[in-house]
Amino acid sequence: MTGEQQGSPRTGRGPLRALFDRFGHLVHELSKFATVGGIAFLLDFALFNYLTAAQGLEQVTAKTISTVIAATVAFLGNRFWTWRHRQRNNPAREYALFFFFNGVGLGIAVACLAISRYGLGNVWPEVFRTPLADNIASFIVGTGLGTLFRFWSYRRFVFPEAGTPAVPEVTYDRDHGA
């Protein structure tokens, strides 16, 4: 192999640099997304625990409220920081899609909490009907799975790259029946 093929100092491009050149933009977006998500997560976590402990709300209701508030903060952070360089469409469309996909993410987190508390909690209540179990199911498992889904869906549908083709409209052609 030559020095260029191995990424020698003569070329200045090693395999790690080549990977960063190829995926650096994704790493950059992901780090901003994680920062915004971390802030929203802390807000969600604090509100959930406040609403359940101090206000006495039922866990699934509290999780729904805390997630909606945290999602609003996340939308603002992602639109105006994470993906500010991407094309801007109709803000109402972005907001609606963001909350639709966030609703799916909320559903993932709430499903994890409900399975833990009401499914597994019926089998082993002293373990799965505790604040620790609620937090693990909701914030570690549910938020983890929901975050993977959100990053993909926001990047693909809510804040698309400039030039991303729109979904074609279906038109009816009288001559050909379609």
Per-residue pLDDT of the chain (178 residues; tens, 9 = 90+): 454 455 445 555 687 777 666 767 778 888 899 999 899 989 999 999 999 999 999 998 998 899 889 988 998 998 888 888 777 778 888 888 998 998 898 899 999 999 999 999 889 888 889 999 999 998 899 988 998 899 899 988 988 876 645 555 555 556 665 5
**Radius of gyration for the chain, computed over Cα atoms and rounded to the nearest angstrom:** 22
- Separation of alpha carbons 120 and 109, rounded Å: 15
- The pLDDT of residue 153 is 93
**Token representation of residue 118:** 């009401």
Helix axis angle, 59-77 relative to 91-114, nearest 10°? 150
- The pLDDT of residue 19 is 65
Identity (one letter) of the amino acid at 26? L
- Separation of alpha carbons 37 and 67, rounded Å: 12
- CA 19 → CA 23, 95, 140, distances in Å? 6, 33, 30
Residue 3 · residue 11 · CB < 8 Å: yes
Vertex 94 angle, CA 98 and 140, to 5°: 15
- The pLDDT of residue 164 is 47
- The pLDDT of residue 175 is 62
Residue 108 · residue 145 · CB < 8 Å: yes
Identity (one letter) of the amino acid at 8? S
30: exposed, middle or buried (Cβ count in 10 Å: 0-12, 13-18, 19+): middle
- Separation of alpha carbons 69 and 44, rounded Å: 7
Query: Considering only CA atoms, which of 59, 90, 66, 68 is closest in space to residue 159?
Result: 90
- The pLDDT of residue 8 is 47
